[in-house]
Amino acid sequence: MSRRIAFVGSCQVSGMAAACRAVSQQRGHDWQVEAYHIGAPLNEREIFRLIQGFDVVISQVNISDKPNAILQADSLRGHVGQCVYMPVFVFTGLHPDMTYVFIQDMVWNGAQSPMHSLLSLACYLLDLPARRAASLFNAYVFAEIGYFSAYEASYAVMVSDFDAAGYDLRGMPERWMETSGPFMYTINHPSISVLSHMAVLALARAGLIAGGYNAPDGVDDYLHQHLVAPVFPELARRIGFSGSHEYLRPLQFGTDRTVSLLEYVQESYADFRGVDRSLLASSPVVHVRDRLSVLLNQAVPRLSARPALSLPSAP
| Interface residue list for other proteins (CB under 8 A) | 132, 135-136, 138-141, 143-144, 234, 237, 295-296, 299-300, 302-306, 308-314
Measured between alpha carbons, how far is residue 192 from residues 124, 149, 179, 198, 222 in Å?
34, 25, 12, 10, 8
- Judged by beta carbon, residue 171 or residue 312, the one nearer other proteins is 312
CB of 300 to other proteins, least distance (A): 6
Write b or e for each residue in 88-101: b if 16 or more Cβ atoms lie within 10 A of its Cβ, otherwise e: bbbbbbbbbbbbeb
CB of 200 to other proteins, least distance (A): 37
254 sits in the region (left: phi over 0; alpha: psi -120 to 50; else beta) called left
CB of 118 to other proteins, least distance (A): 17
Q: Amino acid letter at 94?
A: L
- Judged by beta carbon, residue 89 or residue 124, the one nearer other proteins is 124
- Judged by beta carbon, residue 234 or residue 271, the one nearer other proteins is 234
DSSP annotation of 77 reads: B
Cβ–Cβ under 8 Å, residues 84 and 73: yes
Measured between alpha carbons, how far is residue 55 from residues 11, 156, 163, 165, 209 in Å?
22, 33, 25, 21, 14
Q: Residue 294's closest CA among 122, 132, 97?
A: 122
CB of 243 to other proteins, least distance (A): 12
- Judged by beta carbon, residue 4 or residue 291, the one nearer other proteins is 291
CB of 145 to other proteins, least distance (A): 11
CB of 153 to other proteins, least distance (A): 16
- Judged by beta carbon, residue 106 or residue 305, the one nearer other proteins is 305
- Judged by beta carbon, residue 56 or residue 134, the one nearer other proteins is 134
- Judged by beta carbon, residue 134 or residue 169, the one nearer other proteins is 134
CB of 239 to other proteins, least distance (A): 14
Question: From the CB of residue 283, how many other CB atoms can be counted at a distance below 10 Å?
Answer: 7
- Judged by beta carbon, residue 134 or residue 203, the one nearer other proteins is 134
130 sits in the region (left: phi over 0; alpha: psi -120 to 50; else beta) called alpha
- State how far the Cα of 118 lies from the Cα of 282, in Å rounded to an integer: 10
CB of 264 to other proteins, least distance (A): 17
- State how far the Cα of 293 lies from the Cα of 290, in Å rounded to an integer: 5
- State how far the Cα of 188 lies from the Cα of 54, in Å rounded to an integer: 27
Pairing label, strands 56-59, 2-9: parallel
